[in-house]
Amino acid sequence: MKISVLGAGGWGTTLAVLLYRNGYSTTLWEFNREYAETLKEYRENFYYLPKVKIPKQIHITSDAEEALTGKDILLFVVPTQYIRKSFEGIKGFDLTRSTVISASKGIEVGTYMLVSDILSDTFKIKKSNLACLSGPSHAEEVSRKIPTTVTCAANDIKLAKHLSKIFSNDYFRVYSNNDLIGTELAGALKNVIAIAAGISDGAGFGDNTKAALMTRGMREIMRLGMKLKAKKETFFGLAGIGDLIVTCSSKHSRNRFVGEQIGRGRKLANILKEMKMVAEGVPTTKSAYELSRSFGIELPITEMVYRILFKNVTPHNGMLELMTRKLKTEHEIKEYHLT
């Protein structure tokens, strides 16, 4: 079996090494030709995954056609907002003979497409061959064989189960489900809530505050997910609450880091300029906010993160607005009246 990993960031590099260790012929594609040559020569991803060696048997290339041709599985780990630009030179390339998996998390600005939709719009793909890999899985830990569990989703559960066997080993356990849209949505939207959690930390709020943001944030993720026909149980699983917990709490979380810096009073543009890796939650916040407005769905935390990031609302004023909103029941409650 031949597998290509498209995107040589920390997560792409980690998954390429994992798949090689699992016994598969693995190619790692890097967009930047010069950096691809650096990876080939030094066998270490100095920018995104330092001190983790890339086995010499992993083929590294910057030629997209080479990486895409003749592969049984294509695993896309390119940041969501850069997928179209990365492959614009070969738009329409035929991938119908390959299983295509997304391991990126986000919602495209302007189109509001999830990654599987972007890939379908960019290449010739069989929808039945689409899947995604998501869950609480920082590359920094997986690359060091720290026990990790994630989920693989495909509309065809047989495909999801098949892929889960390919990725699984003694430190990386993969469950399966048949809710592709819910799994992708959960992975994308938890980054928005992670920014909120980081803002809370940076502004000096407490554990109580962050717990509230995570709990009510999951409610918002479910609200938008249900509108888009996702399955409710997906949000209580690894791609939902599991990924939310780790992303809101971890020192490795780029999105939580962005929020924390915002909470300390720094400007978004300056924070992003200094970052080597992409914080997918920033553009996804814009997409989620605009989606909620178009559907008429109330997402107070998402809206407040949007206003703090893009409309210069201060964290303390934003929190005050959230805390003084009209009171309501925690769950949907039907009222029964005795007659």
Of 136, 327, 305, 147, give the one whose Cα is nearest residue 220: 305
> Of 71, 105, 190, 210, which residue is the catalytic one?
190
Q: How far apart are CA 193 and CA 196, in angstroms?
A: 5
Q: d(Cα 310, Cα 291) in Å, to the nearest integer?
A: 16
Rg value, the chain, Cα: 20
Burial label for 249, CB within 10 Å (0-12, 13-18, 19+), is: middle
Q: Is 204 left (phi over 0), alpha (psi -120 to 50) or beta?
A: left
Residue 211, SS3 per DSSP: helix
C-alpha dihedral, 28 to 29 to 32 to 34, nearest 10°: 50
- Please calculate the CA angle 308-311-317 and round it to the nearest 5 degrees: 45
| 85 given a catalytic annotation | no
Phi, psi of 316 (to 5 degrees): -70, -40
Q: What is the residue type of 304?
A: M
Partners of 74 in the β-ladder: 4, 100
Which token pair is 71? 């592969």
Active site residues: 190
